[in-house]
Chains A and B, each alone.
Chain A
């Protein structure tokens, strides 16, 4: 990944109001993008545990997929979500969550993306997403 990719990622994070609403950040290390969701009280869905809202985790996973596609595709247009399946594996605790996207197949019109989120250990994922995204056409 180049300086240009860093600039593209920064542009993605700056442009979407919902990214700022979540407080989502991301880092590039070589060709690996790691999305970061610092804990914030407004993300809580269950105050008893407390745990992150399932929708927040789903939204974070979806934005991670879109960010990875944005950086890789470089079309300057956002891909459109066709469908997502979100699997919840563990409660998302009141701590920082990380996610990485794997572009399983990027075709001419559609991409298949898998995303996994974890907190304390990557080997103990809290949630996973599989989805199809319609790529922005020129």
Chain B
């Protein structure tokens, strides 16, 4: 699928990472709620699952999300993304190098997580379709990436690269607006979207602060 950057949804939702622990089936429930709420990027990021389970879930997510024009990204694994019909992959910084993956899987959109301006420039050069940059604000799940980068560094990244940048890390609905003002295309988050029952209204709340 060839999606030009300006068509990417503004909201990037990351799965719980806990499918193999206390949240089995959560990703599918999230997808069902997303399907009723309009387009987002949904990233299946479940490092604790074996490839066969990831493949099964990705295939089912694909079917559920198709109705909403949402994009499905599989974290890291281009093989699973391609086999399941997902739109793309999302590569963490310690992934298999992007140029090799782009060449081997040219049909997939490749998003990339970056934590510095240099990495952002490098990723764009390597053919990344979009970036997740952060942590912009303090958040427990991103502490391993050091202190928050802040809005100024986000602004610098957004000025420097021409592909869409999603701000990640402690992004509340109100902070979304500040990120957009710094040039971010959209925002990415995990925690706020775990509550499946509230998901449609959570998405609406975020949308109120994001460009259409």
Please determine whether chains A and B interact with each other in the same assembly.
no
